[in-house]
Chains A and B, each alone.
Chain A
């Protein structure tokens, strides 16, 4: 009897690898084991349209049930894997059932970084990662309520945009001196600070939270020099990868689960994909863990090709996006290590601009704010290792299409 290919995790990476295995003609049975009660669903709308109440739960689901049937995949939902035994090629689930695998794909994703401060256990202090998290936020999401968001990253700011539009009184507390500091350059951070202020969000930078106060229920967020009244607190201070199962199984973990260009671990029967995997990123020149839909899909496609003995798909430029108000932020490449930042357009007074990041004259990343051509052209230029002259990038008189050549 053929043991199945088991996928631990039922997020976007799991969904894509099922699709890609089917496309590559994979025939053995597939079992997807997910901790949440939902089939694979899209997380990006959770902090946008779904939070805004503009999208029903079933619209989040990535595929119809028939899709998994057709691909030979069974979904085991609401089930937690507690152990991987590589010697016997077995996974153990919470109900103590043991399942043998021929191939194992670890797609366990990441979880919100918890902060260890007094009062995080108070009622009304929440995180945002899952459908259940958003439903908990929703029950308190009423106009006039005071929402304090801890963390000025993508999730916190997307939440702020939806909340202020919904009539909540919104405060964002960010520990470092600028917004989205891990993801974008200072010019973009400053633009977003002004954008949120203009919409009525109170943004406090360089403000470290020291604790949460209230009688059973959160009433205040305490900072070093200030207090902020709150009916609801959402903490969005990054994510940590779910690597414990892999580490317990003796697989190498370096921030994420260490994998090669085929997404394979040192054990040839075990792969890791998505937020939990750490892979060499040629653009950065080092091993990195990327948290994005694009990365989940790319790694799923690569692993599926490797499992089926097909050539790997060509590497793509990593990309990311964030929608806040009616402003579309699209990012491509990895800007770490850039030695020049070139601005096209006017971030001070305009509503659209792009920042190109160059290293040794090579374009390595772009942050595009309401600038689709700059984003799309840069994806191509970055993949080609192009060296577009800075003065041409800066010159709005030259179309991006022409810079692409």
Chain B
């Protein structure tokens, strides 16, 4: 279980608890965090669950696979801090993580 904060582009924050084993995306959707569309349901095929992860957390997350890296390259609002939240599996190690949700996934 990890307590994770999602910050909307407008500044509102949602701090939620996500069970280990779920993805960050699933946790966000279950808790109705706005801005995580997740059209493909976590198959790493749509790039609509993108979040920005601050640099101090980047190394503490599971590394990107090549498909995630490639999806992000073509994601309209992606930066070096972007991750696809469906590809991040939650564990205790993520407790305290804060991510930002883009204004739009399209």
Contacts and interface: CB of A to CB of B under 8 A. Distances in A.
Interface of A: 42, 44-45, 59, 62-64, 66-67, 70, 293-294, 297, 319, 321, 323, 328, 330, 370, 372-373, 376-377, 379-380, 401
B103 interface: no
B74 A377 contact: yes
Contacts of A380: 74
Contacts of A70: 32
Contact of B70 (A59, A66, A372): A372
Contact of A372 (B26, B32, B39, B67): B67
A363 to B, nearest CB: 15
A44 B74 contact: no
B78 to A, nearest CB: 11
A64 B45 contact: no
A297 B45 CA distance: 14
B70 A376 contact: yes
Given A63-B29, A321-B40, A372-B66, 10 more contacts: A42-B41, A44-B40, A62-B41, A64-B31, A328-B67, A372-B74, A373-B73, A376-B74, A380-B74, A401-B73
Contact of B41 (A44, A370, A401): A44
Contacts of B40: 44, 293, 321
Nearest to B70: A372
Contacts of B39: 293-294, 297
B32 A67 contact: yes
B47 interface: yes
B30 interface: yes
A376 B74 CA distance: 6
B97 interface: no
Contacts of A64: 30-32
A293 B41 contact: yes
| Cβ-closest 4 pairs across A and B | A376-B74, A372-B70, A321-B45, A42-B41
21 contacts: A42-B41, A44-B41, A44-B43, A62-B29, A62-B41, A64-B31, A64-B32, A70-B32, A293-B39, A294-B39, A297-B39, A319-B45, A321-B43, A321-B45, A328-B67, A372-B70, A376-B73, A376-B74, A377-B74, A379-B74, A401-B73
